[in-house]
């Protein structure tokens, strides 16, 4: 990440804890290796907008209102960018972040990898309805034996790790002190026994699905995830190189390891907002974004793991290839990661908001609601301006 070293008190044991995470999310511990994701044109800037969100006044459930600065503070904001019709409306950085700082996207990475997978499928490089054992025979006798790539993408595998397996998986990805002996992601899956978990049922979220998907992608294409991400998305879209964190064996962390600038996350959102296009170029087929918005199973979501916990945001939602859809009018597509990493896209009004944060807790229902309500207030400001 940036050349200056992390503070001495940041290490693999505490980098995701508050207050260390305020800095560590954009200065990873030195023990975490990364791979470069190359970008295309350097120094590209957003055209500026004459609009503003100065009228931001978020109505809270107790009847009081919250202005923009208190909102940024209450949601532990590290960086936030708002675009309207491709023009820069608002940009803010906190906690030592700068425009060229890389911030870890956590599970918002899943949306980027999901988009990459959809592109590869549209190119004919892999089939999403094919059993993953056709690509990774090492899991033939594992609990994932019945899964297809589509099941991994949509969190439709009934993952059930015991405590020992959860601990082994967590240690394999390179984000915390390794066990003895070290276990990498691919070794973990190779050693995971059966019987096969059911697939195609309700939404059941587990990051292991997307890490396994990364292995499927590499086997299907004979290329590394970081190189495919550069070729298909970062080179045509981004202004700055990104990085992917690596496990102990040098394998990319597809479930959460993307480290990028807020500007480039917003650029990705802008391309999604325009159904895959950027200027005169079509970066990926426009049917992909339509599929993200409409292809998710609403019943699988409502009956699934998070149906009730997301009810304060919406009772009509879906999940497709790492992207969440909220069925408001107009609909919202968003990517989400723990500790407050978000990319919101309102295609109808052409509004994009990218937000990196360092929440004290990985998951916080009140702060998550506040973040979504904040995006709704941004939309109100821009639609009424």
DSSP string for 352-375: EEEEEE--SSS--HHHHHHHHHHH
Categorise residue 352: left if φ over 0, alpha if ψ from -120 to 50, beta otherwise. Answer: beta
Q: What is the dihedral of CA 379, 70, 307, 146, to 10 degrees?
A: 90
> Which runs of consecutive H residues, i.e. helices, occur in the chain?
21-24, 68-74, 109-122, 149-153, 163-172, 185-190, 207-221, 225-229, 235-237, 262-273, 287-294, 298-302, 365-383
Arithmetic mean of pLDDT over the chain: 95
- pLDDT, residue 41, reads 75
Sign of the torsion angle spanned by Cα atoms 309, 312, 314, 315: positive
Residue 376 pLDDT > 90: yes
Q: Do residues 135 and 186 touch, judged by C-beta distance below 8 A?
A: no
Q: Is residue 42 over pLDDT 70? A: no
Q: Determine the Cα angle at 332 with ends 329 and 334, to 5°.
A: 170
- Would you state the pLDDT for residue 101? 97
Mean pLDDT across 152-166: 97
pTM of the model: 0.96
All domains in the chain, ordered by first residue: 21-124+210-383 (3.40.710.10)
Neighbours of 165 (CB within 10 A): 17
* Dist. CA 28–CA 270, nearest whole Å: 27
DSSP 5: P
Contact between residue 354 and residue 266 where contact means Cβ atoms under 8 Å apart:
yes
Q: 108 with 335: CB under 8 angstroms?
A: yes
pLDDT in tens, 227-285: 999 999 999 999 999 999 999 999 999 999 999 999 999 999 999 999 999 989 999 99
Q: 4 falls in which pLDDT band (50, 70, 90)? A: low
Which neighbouring-strand residues pair with 103? 260
């Amino acid at each position: 990440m940036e050349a200056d070293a992390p503070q001495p008190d940041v290490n693999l044991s505490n980098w995701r804890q508050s207050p260390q995470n305020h800095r560590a999310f954009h200065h990873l511990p030195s023990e975490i290796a990364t791979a470069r994701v190359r970008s295309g044109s350097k120094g590209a800037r957003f055209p500026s907008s004459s609009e503003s969100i100065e009228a931001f006044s978020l109505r809270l459930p107790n009847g009081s209102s919250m202005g923009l600065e208190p909102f940024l503070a209450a949601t532990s904001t590290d960086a936030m960018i708002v675009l309207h019709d491709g023009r820069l409306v608002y940009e803010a950085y906190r906690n030592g972040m700068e425009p060229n700082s890389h911030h870890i996207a956590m599970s918002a990475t899943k949306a980027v990898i999901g988009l990459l997978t959809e592109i590869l499928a549209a190119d004919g490089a892999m089939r999403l309805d094919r059993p993953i054992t056709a690509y990774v025979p090492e899991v033939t006798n594992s609990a994932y034996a019945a899964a297809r790539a589509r099941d991994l993408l949509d969190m439709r595998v009934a993952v059930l790790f015991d405590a020992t397996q959860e601990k082994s998986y967590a240690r394999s990805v390179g984000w915390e002190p390794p066990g003895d002996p070290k276990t990498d992601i691919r070794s973990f899956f190779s050693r995971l026994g059966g019987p096969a978990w059911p697939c195609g049922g309700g939404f059941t979220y587990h990051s292991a699905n997307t890490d396994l998907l990364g292995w499927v992608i590499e086997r299907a294409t004979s290329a590394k995830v970081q190189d495919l991400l550069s070729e298909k998305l970062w080179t045509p879209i981004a202004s700055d190189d990104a990085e992917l964190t690596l496990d102990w064996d040098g394998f990319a962390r597809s479930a959460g390891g993307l480290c990028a600038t807020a500007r480039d996350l917003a650029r990705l959102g802008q391309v999604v907002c325009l159904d895959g296009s950027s200027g005169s170029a079509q970066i990926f087929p426009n049917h992909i974004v339509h599929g993200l918005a409409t292809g998710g199973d609403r019943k699988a979501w409502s009956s699934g793991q998070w149906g009730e916990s997301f009810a304060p945001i919406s009772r009509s939602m879906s999940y497709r290839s790492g992207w969440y859809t909220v069925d408001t009018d107009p609909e919202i597509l968003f990517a989400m990661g723990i500790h407050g990493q978000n990319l919101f896209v309102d295609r109808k009004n052409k509004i994009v908001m990218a937000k990196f944060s360092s929440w004290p807790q990985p998951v916080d229902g009140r702060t998550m609601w506040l973040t979504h309500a904040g995006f709704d207030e941004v939309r109100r400001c821009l639609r009424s301006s």
